[in-house]
């Protein structure tokens, strides 16, 4: 990226008794995004990235970048898989291109930037790397740099669990129901495991229904008191599902 450089030299003279004191201050600024150098002054530049430790596939998250003695800050977001789209609420002196955002701080001071990332795709176990640096167009030439790695991790939550009848006191059919939230809608399986207490015995294979057409009927298994199945939501489908499990249980005396 080409840029025009301006060199400002200030000659300041002062008199203290009969001793003349001469100061020469030179500031070099590059006009344009991504190439900023500062010479002079005793303030140490720094940059730090703060954000979540884990995110889900197909999710939106935010992180912040804090700097000191920064004339320009660059942030890059790179994902191991999937795609990222960057947004920021900053309106002035900002340039966004693909996975890179560049900020200019005309006051050469301290700054805080909040960046939103729309993350599409991704697989559990992948990583997203956020790199930020100040006062240079490339990270290797920066006055200060920081890198944060975020793990992509599918996480679901289960709420509203009910058992009808509520108490297991004979070998009869029981209905277990609950809601699953935060399913990934990426066309890949979410594996669910339901473990029943050791005080009951499962007498039959489970009959499972899931709202929507995403239950993998060929992937339902039972081992001792654990029932496993998978749900596969495609992009655009709801990330919440109602689950019902019908089976015969009996108490263990």
Q: Encode pLDDT of 15-35 as tens digits.
A: 333 333 333 333 333 333 333
pTM of the model: 0.53
Structure tokens at 178: 């609950």
- Residue 194, strand partner residues: 227
Domains by residue range for the chain, with CATH: 41-152 (2.60.40.680), 157-251 (2.60.40.740)
Closest CA to 87 of 52, 65, 46, 118: 118
Q: Encode pLDDT of 85-106 as tens digits.
A: 999 987 667 899 889 999 988 7
The residue-averaged pLDDT of 81-86 equals 90
Q: Encode pLDDT of 151-181 as tens digits.
A: 887 666 778 889 999 888 888 999 999 988 8
Reduced to 3 states, what is the DSSP secondary structure of residue 180?
strand
């Amino acid at each position: 990226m080409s840029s025009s450089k301006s060199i400002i030299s200030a000659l300041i003279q002062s008199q203290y008794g009969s001793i003349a004191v001469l100061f020469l201050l030179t500031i070099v600024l590059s006009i344009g995004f991504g190439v900023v150098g500062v010479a002079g002054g005793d303030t140490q530049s720094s940059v730090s990235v703060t954000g979540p430790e884990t995110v889900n596939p197909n999710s939106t998250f935010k992180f912040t970048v804090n700097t000191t003695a920064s004339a320009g800050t660059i942030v890059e977001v790179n994902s191991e898989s999937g795609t990222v789209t960057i947004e920021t609420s900053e309106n002035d002196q900002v340039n966004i291109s693909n996975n890179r955002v560049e900020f200019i701080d005309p006051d050469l001071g301290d700054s805080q930037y909040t960046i939103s990332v729309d993350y599409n795709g991704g697989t559990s176990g992948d990583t997203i790397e956020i790199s930020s640096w100040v006062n240079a167009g490339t990270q290797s030439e920066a006055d200060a740099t920081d890198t944060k790695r975020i793990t992509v991790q599918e996480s679901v939550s289960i709420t509203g669990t009910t058992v009808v009848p509520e108490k297991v006191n004979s070998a009869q059919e029981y209905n277990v129901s609950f809601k699953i939230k935060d399913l990934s809608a990426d066309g890949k399986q979410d594996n669910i495991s339901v473990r029943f207490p050791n005080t009951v015995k499962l007498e039959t294979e489970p009959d499972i229904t899931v709202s929507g057409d995403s239950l993998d009927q060929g992937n339902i298994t039972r081992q001792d008191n654990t029932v496993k199945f998978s749900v596969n939501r495609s992009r655009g489908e709801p990330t919440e599902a109602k689950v019902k499990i019908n089976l015969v249980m009996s108490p263990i005396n």
